[in-house]
Amino acid sequence: MDRKTYTAELAGLRELRIEITAAEKTVAAAQKELDKLTDRRARRVAGLAGYEGAQAPAIAKASGLSVGDVVRIAPLLDPTPAAVRAAKADGQAAAPTPAPEVPEAEPAVAVAPTLTRPAPAVEQLAPAVPVTEAPTEVEDQVGAEQLAVLQTGSATSAPGETEPGVQAASDRTTTSIPGAIGQHPVAPVAAAPRPVVEAGPRELPTLPEGPAGARFEAVTTGLVSKRPNFTQQARATVFLDAAAGMLAIRDQVVRVDLGARTPGEILDAVQATAPGTERVYITAGAPWHDGAERYSTLKDAVAAWLNAPSERWTTAVGSGRDKLAGHFVHQRQPVGRYAPASAPDSGSTEIRSMGEWFDPDGADVVTCRQAFTLLWQALRRHWDDAVLMGSPSQTGRDLWSRTIPTTGKWAGGYPVLSEELRGLLHATGGQGRTELILPPRVPEQLPALVEYDRTFAYAKHLWKSPVGTPRRITAAAFAAMSEVEQTKALMSCSHWNVRVTVPAGWNHVGLLPAPVTGDRAWVYPSTPGETFVTWAGGAEIHLALSNHLAPWRIEVLGGLLFEDGKPLDEWGKRLKAAWADLTNLSKLHGDERQRTAAYLASRAVRSVLLFGLGGFAQRPRLVSGTTPIGEALPTGVEILGQDESVVTWQRQAGFSRDPYAHPEWAAYVWSGARAALLDMKYRQGKEVIGYAGALHAKPGSVVYFGTDGIALTERQMWPYRGEPGDYLLKGHLTGPVEHPTSQEEYLKLRGLGRAELAAKGADQ
């Protein structure tokens, strides 16, 4: 560079300085104006909080803020129930309460299969805050077993389109999903350190006396499950193999360039090929796991992928009654919702995992799309207005809502129980039984590992369910009943608080769940003389009293007796019919691709029932979100982790006012399924023609319980008819086999057993 050029560049630099100064003044003026407008908005939000009927979601939508931002401005709008906030605050302020001592076991003696009649006056334990059940491992269930399916307050939806979790654009609210075991291999991720918590007794809530107890025999005013008066709208859907870059659109397959496989690049490629697409199912490739090794947890990796910056796409904020907003962060089945950055109100596109519906297990993208087509056709034969929604839980609840009767006692809909009663059921009604039984109760070396799985298990337990307002049964009232009345009460839809004693000489598996702290919320005591207090459904209590080995000692402390109804019966019958159609097609069709597609579609029907049932549970929301580093965190949060830009947190958010919240139905079905793992009758008409279940296997031969299946050390002569609830031989690993010492070891052995049985071509 010569001197002349240098002088000219200096002059140009001075001119640029002047332009920058002017631009800075313009920006400063604009920022000042923006600050004034933001301040005015904050004052208006705070002012709206003075209205008694004000709701944070509505204000958030009108203001363009997230629900979390609205609550930070106006804490009065926090949707968390006051009782939950107060209980949480009290729990943080109070010193830890020591776990209750287990009473010393009395010498157990053989008793007749009748109930111990307690004294009329029974001491009531102090009411406890409802406890969310600890995550449990859910066995052999496609995708993420979202048994706790909830809706947060950051978005609105049509009845029946409730999402496991909903995230606002900036608050990014999500919901924790208990017990998901994924089906897809992922890059190794360093696990976040977890405190070691030893399991110990956990005190469960009881029914309080006086006016407080009346709320446990009540329903929520103005909250009823009603039949919808609208038809769901189908979404334009495509299927993408993200590993191979193959996109299935209607009846054609197109190869697309996905670039670095970020959400924005995937959406660009899809929309360029199939404009107007509203939903993309990833059938293979799991792009949300790309670079997972860089993060401390898999959830952090998925969150980072969902929120990857894009010039053309932004997080959807939702509009209208059936438009869900934000992302759902889940380790293996996430949901991303995006809108064009240039027109965020023009509509959104979802990116979802095929694993929500079924495990593709290597099926190509065309087969997955065909499975969806067959699923829709099968459901359409039983519902004229059937629409496949984003997830099985949404679809299941929507289909159920269209079976609500139009005549009879419940034509106006099914009332929703009081929040107090729902909290009690959540705290005391466990899900599927998951238990690994260790030596010396079983041999160190197993002669074999034989797996049985109950086919379409929950479908067998939908014929009867509790309805209406329950009647409270005190210990004295139960003691005053005759034995016939007691048996009738237990055989009815009921939920009981009991003191249990394992009988002397008992040498088999435990029958009833006992509450504990730690990683597992429930264990199943089986030591003779052991005594514990718990809650359980009538089916389980009746089995403990009347099993063919030895009756257990049961003292009823109280309970809830519902009216017997059939709110799930029609829904279950239609789903079973659709499942049977697809199962038969998967065996008889002449084309291999169609057989595979039909099998996958039958698995999807199972997910619709399973997730739909879990959706009724409506557990208290555990929401998570992110806050930029340097900004104040919301109150009462637990920090999960952080990166260079944001802190990830979670907190309890109480119950939502959901017209489809029926934990009494989920709890009753789960209780019946747990009882059937122990003892199930094969019937021909009204005649019992056989038995199956753990209690019909030899003592010491049961190795594992896994929600709807069990593993044993030897084969059983249990007939298999292909009907819901039947025990199917699923795997057989020839021994000797070293006993698994952990869940992970068992799952590996289970896989080997299934492979060995498949190789032998067992005719089951």
**pLDDT value, residue 654:** 62
User: How many Cβ atoms from other residues are within 10 Å of residue 651's Cβ?
Assistant: 18
Residue 571, phi then psi, degrees to nearest 5: -55, -45
Q: Is-cis flag, bond preceding 205, omega within 30?
A: no
Per-residue model confidence (pLDDT) at position 176:
31
Model confidence at 624, pLDDT cuts 50, 70, 90, reads low
Cα(269)–Cα(258) distance, rounded to whole angstroms? Answer: 6
Least confidently predicted of 161-170, 282-291, 623-632, 666-675:
161-170
Q: Which amino acid is at 316?
A: A
Residues 6+ apart with CB under 8 A from 92: none
Question: For 603, phi and psi rounded to 5 degrees?
Answer: -65, -35
Spatial contact of 375 and 605, defined as CB atoms under 8 Å apart: yes
In angstroms, rounded to a whole number, what is the distance separating the alpha carbons of residues 737 and 704?
Answer: 14
The closest of 333, 501, 450, 365 to 752, measured between CA atoms, is 450
Fill in the DSSP letter of residue 327.
-
| Main-chain dihedrals φ then ψ at residue 307, nearest 5 degrees | -100, 20
Q: Is the pLDDT of residue 590 over 70?
A: yes
Give residue limits of the domains in the chain: 3-78, 174-179+228-404+569-661, 435-456+680-760
pLDDT at 621: 60
In which region does residue 250 sit, left (phi positive, over 0), alpha (psi from -120 to 50) or beta (all else)? left
pLDDT digit string, tens, across residues 380-429? 999 999 999 999 999 999 999 999 999 999 998 999 999 889 989 988 98
Q: Which of 306, 325, 347 is nearest to 166 (CA)?
A: 325
Specify whether the CB–CB gap between 281 and 333 falls below 8 A: no
- 54-63, 230-239, 256-265, 549-558: which range is least confident on average? 54-63
User: Comparing 265 with 638, which gets the higher pLDDT?
Assistant: 265
- The encoded tokens of residue 141 equal 């269930």
Return all residues near 679 (Cβ < 8 A) that are at least 6 apart: 543, 547, 548, 691, 693, 694, 695, 696
Q: What is the pLDDT of residue 324?
A: 57
Q: pLDDT tens for residues 487-542?
A: 999 999 999 999 999 999 999 999 999 998 765 689 999 999 999 999 999 999 99
Work out the number of other CB atoms within 10 angstroms of the CB of residue 530: 17
Gap between the Cα atoms of 582 and 585, Å rounded: 5
Three-class SS state of 607: helix
Q: 288: how many CB neighbours lie within 10 A of its CB?
A: 29
How far is it, in rounded angstroms, from Cα 326 to Cα 314?
10
Terminal C-alpha separation, the chain: 86
Contacts of residue 343, defined as CB under 8 A and 6 or more positions apart, other chains included, come to: none
Quote the CA–CA distance of 532 and 203 in Å, as a whole number.
10
Percent of the chain with pLDDT over 90: 51
How far apart, in whole angstroms, are the C-alpha atoms of residue 428 and residue 496?
10
Is the pLDDT at 170 greater than 50? The verdict is: no
563's tokens:
């009216």
Distance CA 171, CA 79 (A): 14
538 φ, ψ (degrees, to nearest 5): -60, -35
pLDDT attached to residue 100: 35
What average pLDDT does the structure give for the chain? 80
Closest CA to 201 of 98, 94, 96: 98
Looking at residue 619, its pLDDT comes to 66
Where residue 42 falls among pLDDT bands split at 50, 70, 90? confident
What pLDDT shows up at residue 400?
96
Amino acid at 47: G
